[in-house]
Amino acid sequence: MRPASHLLVNTPDIEIWPGGLLRARSNHDARALSRARHVLRRKRDGQYLAADLPEGLLALVPRLRREDGIETALFVLERLREPQRAGIDAIGELPLDRLQERLHALGLDETYAQRTGLPLVAEPTMLTLAGFDRYRRPLWLVPGAARAWRSMHAAALLDDVVLEAISGYRSHDYQLGIFERKRARGLTVEEILTVNAAPGYSEHHSGRALDIGAPGEPPAEESFENTAAFAWLRDNAPAYDFAMSYPRDNPHGIVYEPWHWAWRGA
């Protein structure tokens, strides 16, 4: 059983975060988050919904009980509150039943999978804290990937090489948000698809993949291949079951991504 203080527990619409990790966006949030054992956060837009305080649940939005998926999230929260449990036993996967809705929002259909050869990727029901990324945001991965990342990061440091995590787990809804923001900047869906997989098809959904950078280098740029960090990964990452997912001329139509590595362990 894993301690709840290091877990992000995932439900289809709402994430349950451990207290002390989320940044406050207002004085009201700051007071609640400073005392919260857990925080319920809407996956679609990151809105904080409720804080689990010692004296009970504090709603952070009006009409909390009308939120999509709130009953499921509150049921899981009750389990986390039970002293004899203090954690979640096993990792499962969330259903993929809303995938078509997300694809249709981008004008895509099932032919996308046939065209790219990318598999569907379910979200895990639980992720563990693997440290923090370049921007001091919590880095969430499934437990095996988190252990492998910490070991690989420490080994690189012994060789005077700094590996910086840029991005880890991303939900289907977060991936859809990436497309919506890029479309708002004038990019077409086809242009975005050369860099980002469609919602439901990104390895980041699995909690096994992360983007890696080096100090002083811009994130997610091909120039990363010229760094000592990339050279170290090329020579040593396989020993930790990490592999680069999108080499040059990969069959999925995704641009060369020397920064994107995924854990292939059991």
216 within a domain of the structure (yes/no):
yes
CA dist 187 and 158 (Å) reads 42
**Cα 228 vs. chain centroid, distance in angstroms?**
26
Residues 70, 162: one domain? Answer: no
DSSP string, 136-155: SPEEEE-HHHHHHHHHHHHH
Residues 136, 45: one domain? Answer: no
Residues 133, 81: one domain? Answer: no
Q: Which tens digit of pLDDT belongs to each residue from 69-90? A: 999 999 999 988 876 554 555 6
Residues 45, 147: one domain? Answer: no
Q: How confident is the model at residue 1 (pLDDT cuts 50, 70, 90)?
A: very low
Residue from 18, 70, 76 nearest 49 by CA: 70
Residues 81, 118: one domain? Answer: no
- Looking at every residue in the chain, the average pLDDT score rounds to 93
Domain that includes residue 63, residue range = 2-88
Q: Which tens digit of pLDDT belongs to each residue from 120-142? A: 999 999 999 999 999 999 999 99
171 within a domain of the structure (yes/no):
yes
Residues 183, 218: one domain? Answer: yes
Residues 247, 153: one domain? Answer: yes
Residues 155, 225: one domain? Answer: yes
- In this structure, the number of other CB atoms found within 10 A of the CB of residue 7 comes to 21
Mean pLDDT to the nearest integer, 210-223: 97
Choice between 29 and 158, residue whose per-residue pLDDT is larger: 158
Choice between 33 and 89, residue whose per-residue pLDDT is larger: 33
59 within a domain of the structure (yes/no):
yes
CA dist 88 and 111 (Å) reads 37
Number of independent structural domains in the chain: 2
Q: How confident is the model at residue 2 (pLDDT cuts 50, 70, 90)?
A: very low
Task: Report the CATH number that the domain containing residue 176 is assigned in CATH.
Answer: 3.30.1380.10
pLDDT at 88: 56
* All residues at 6 or more sequence positions from 149 whose CB lies less than 8 Å from its CB, including other chains: 130, 131, 139, 141, 165, 210, 240, 242, 263
